[in-house]
Amino acid sequence: MRYRGLCKFIAAATLFSLLVRWQAFSLTGAFEHGGVAAVMGALTLVTLTLALVSAVGMWGARTWGFVAFYPFGVLFTIVFGASLIPFVLLLLPVEARVAGVFVVNGIVLALVAFVHWKRPR
């Protein structure tokens, strides 16, 4: 697969991952209570923004799309505790799913960095 095709695949996969977890991005009441709820609401908003910026940038094979993907991948892992590849953790036993999130998302981040590194000059 060519570079631009890989970039479009990553962008589409990012949007698919967001669509699968669209309910997690609810900000209902997040900023009314203050404190931890407001921080989590802000992190949710930042994660969603980074994901959308990343998808748009990578669809056009732009460097800033990759730059936005890296913090999105880290925030998605830490804030949501979810895999960037939906449904893959269902193959693991329940006891191994937390470690599986970190392993799968680490592999995805490494593969995206490899695609970014191999971009045509």
| Average pLDDT of the residues in 108-120 | 91
Indicate left, alpha or beta for 81 from its phi (over 0: left) and psi (-120 to 50: alpha): left
**Which residue's entry shows tokens 């669509």?**
19
- The vertex-72 CA angle with 87 and 85, nearest 5°, equals 15
Range of the domain at 101: 3-117
Q: Model-level pTM greater than 0.95?
A: no
Residues composing the chain: 121
CA distance 40 to 59: 28
- Joined together, the tokens standing for residue 83 give 């895999």
In terms of pLDDT, which residue wins out, 23 or 67? 67
Q: Please report which confidence band the pLDDT of residue 77 belongs to, taking 50, 70 and 90 as the band edges.
A: very high
Could you give the C-alpha distances from 24 to 5, 74, 81, 82, in angstroms and in order? 29, 16, 11, 10
What is the torsion angle, in degrees rounded to the nearest 10, for the CA atoms of residue 40, residue 41, residue 42 and residue 43? 50
In terms of pLDDT, which residue wins out, 93 or 30? 93
At 34, which amino acid appears? Answer: G
Q: What is the pLDDT of residue 44?
A: 86
Q: How many domains does the chain have?
A: 1
Q: What is the pLDDT of residue 22?
A: 82
Task: Calculate the average pLDDT of the chain.
Answer: 88
Q: How many CB atoms lie within 10 A of CB 31?
A: 12
- Give the whole-number percent of the chain exceeding pLDDT 70: 92
The pLDDT tens digits of the residues spanning 5-50 come to 999 999 999 999 988 888 776 766 556 667 777 788 788 889 999 9
| Average pLDDT of the residues in 100-111 | 95
Residue 54: is it exposed, middle or buried by C-beta count within 10 angstroms (0-12/13-18/19+)?
A: buried
